[in-house]
Structure 1
């Protein structure tokens, strides 16, 4: 027998999952990169929030190597990607076999800002960065400079971490400073989310999606009784 809440629950569940899907896909990509770096035995900070040029900025990963602190922006894309350059008027084009295409902001520009934010906190310490493709997207015309697959990233980090003994003191101290600067309180998270979404409906969708999905699932599970 089907309870009255079952159908509304299905609708809420579908709506909530649709809103959550981009975040879940992004989280999966970030987790893939994090696990790969953990497997190399390198120190890593995930989902870091630091003071930036216009308030707070969120960084997917920071990695400590012997030669530099590495700033990573992970993208879990599919389809074929084409690079139209950086800056205003640039970006990436994402195309699918169906003919659908999307215009994407160039994540190299985004990560450049992250690198600058990290550099201001730890001046004088080498800081570099890359965009990591964690999905099955491919660049038919070749990867742009500064963009790596997970396999390429592991190779690059291995090169950057060559040497024996402890890390240079300056880099190790900078790493500790970045750990202390990471803003993980609720107010900082809310401020960063408001900056990213611009507030309004987009903010409501991102913050309400888990709650809506949970309510929908509870209604579906409770809607059938024996």
Structure 2
């Protein structure tokens, strides 16, 4: 089953000649676009786990949908059908999905700008402006940071002959955190002084393992020290 205004929704463009009020078209277009974003973030979360920024932005999308549902109720606008859970696919790698997130948020900001230029209802404008601001100031920067981090991690692993898709293999929470940290630190030779060549040339899994092992040894030593004092 399709929406009665399928072409309007798919193209994300208000049709002045359509037999529906402009405000109805605008709210349905906005809701349809939020449906699409929500489904994409859900798919990425299912594939990669509840990792930032997708997991938290997915929750934010639920709030966006809820805000638009309220407008539907206020104006008697039928909610559009949501086809995206059945038809949404994701990209082949984490970096590509983060880049798609950036592109999607930019498109969302532009969409709200186009819709705002065509509606005058104050309450609708307020909701649209709030959702646009969330995309511009919260979601977009989060995805941009994720892209930068993913690029650094893939470059770091590529320097050791590791395929990009293996850059995100899980080794445990501590090792994963340290591996990402080394990927970021290895780019900056200045602050690291003599240690930067080591970080740039050492195998990422080895460094993460060494750091995790060192942390474990430190904790064990601390516990033994406390135990001796108690004796």
**Structure with the higher fraction of residues in helix conformation:** 2
Shorter-chain TM-score above 0.5 = no
**Structure with the higher fraction of residues in strand conformation:** 1
Give TM-score, length-normalised by structure 1: 0.23
User: Which one scores higher on RCO, CA 8 angstroms, separation ≥ 6?
Assistant: 1
